[in-house]
A = this chain, B = another copy of it.
Amino acid sequence: MISAIIRVRLGASMTIKLGIIGAGRIGRLHANTLTTRVPGAQAIAIADIFEASAKSAAADYSIPDYTSEPAEIINSGDIDAVVICSSTDTHCRFITEAAGTGKQIFCEKPIAFDLAEIDAALAAVADAGVQLQIGFNRRFDSNHARIKQAIDSGEIGEPHTLTIISRDPAPPPIDYIKVSGGLMMDMMIHDFDMCRFLLGEVEEIYAMADVMVDPAIGEAGDIDTATVMLRFENGAIGTIENSRQAVYGYDQRVEVFGSRGAASSGNWHPNAVTISDASSVRRNLPLHFFIERYMDSYIAEMIAFVEALTKGGTVPVVGNDGRVPVLMAMGGMRSIAEKRPVRLDEIA
């Protein structure tokens, strides 16, 4: 006869119960990841101020409970960790509150647009002795990890320059741009994190930027194209190129050049097929956007978060890793405004 039901692999001590705050695009992505791809994770509730969103996400990803009150998750005695995917202006408040109830915390980037607010939240985290991981998922991408390995192993020697090309396939809606903190805070912040991940801290930044894609973005007070030059503390020089619109799709390339060689990443495409006909030798466009391109790194960052909590280590992207890129974005914006290189210690 078919035997009795078997308990899942992970004993109680190895499982962590999570509550998700925010059921928008990124909240749903993490809901999906946590419920199907992360060993040891149990997403037991999801909150969204729009109850219908929370309800629908709960149904779609088989999450037992939902609510329109984030506080219910923060205060729940059943929940070990919160995953904060709500709008940026709520991040610091939820971090502080969750730290207050002893929750472990995962928070999406950027933490906030204001350094004082960030510093207060990080202090609350430190006081509570909980962990905070920031959602810089790209560190977990296999390309970036390979480049990091090439640096750390000495394979390419002492790094001299870093070049990041990072272009979105299309700008977000103007309404989003208005609350996004701007290109540097919303988009280039990932590249600022990548700079630090690969080559360490930055001393100085110089930026040129403009509205080239859509005048409406300029009318909303933002830029859509920006190039930045950075001087690292270790002496290396970096450049970042951002555009809100690459018509051929998401363009995500990094190159580090050093004394013994270079490591350079290309884009991923949906297939590895080349078509040759009378007009060209061609392939399909790159993976369209971050959901397609970075799905594996979203999974990997959550696996790392849950592993750190269940096994007792330190989470891999800490609060300060969330703070410094905000500072760099501020430096970049000041450089544009004042048309001069800006040292980060002018701001911090």
User: Of residues 186 to 239 in A, which have CB atoms within 8 Å of B's CB atoms?
Assistant: 206, 208-210, 212-213, 225, 227, 229, 231, 235, 237, 239
Do A6 and B66 contact each other (CB < 8 Å), given the known contacts A247-B261, A263-B274, A341-B339?
A: yes
**Is B273 touching A265 in the complex (CB atoms < 8 A)?**
yes
Q: Is A67 an interface residue (CB 8 A)?
A: yes
**Is A276 touching B261 in the complex (CB atoms < 8 A)?**
yes
Do A257 and B167 contact each other (CB < 8 Å), given the known contacts A5-B64, A142-B270, A262-B275?
A: yes
**Is A156 touching B277 in the complex (CB atoms < 8 A)?**
yes
**Is B281 touching A283 in the complex (CB atoms < 8 A)?**
yes
A281: chain B residues at CB < 8 Å are 248, 269, 282-286
Q: How far is the CA of A304 from the CA of B211 in the complex (A)?
A: 39
Do A239 and B247 contact each other (CB < 8 Å), given the known contacts A262-B276, A266-B272, A277-B155?
A: no
A6: chain B residues at CB < 8 Å are 55, 58-59, 62-66
Please report A residues at the B interface, Cβ cutoff 8 Å: 1-9, 36-37, 45, 55, 58-67, 72-73, 76, 142-143, 145-147, 150, 155-158, 160-161, 163, 165, 167, 206, 208-210, 212-213, 225, 227, 229, 231, 235, 237, 239, 241, 243, 245-248, 251, 255, 257, 259-286, 339-341
In the complex, the 6 A-B pairs of residues with the closest C-beta atoms, listed nearest first? A261-B277, A282-B282, A248-B276, A280-B282, A146-B273, A142-B271
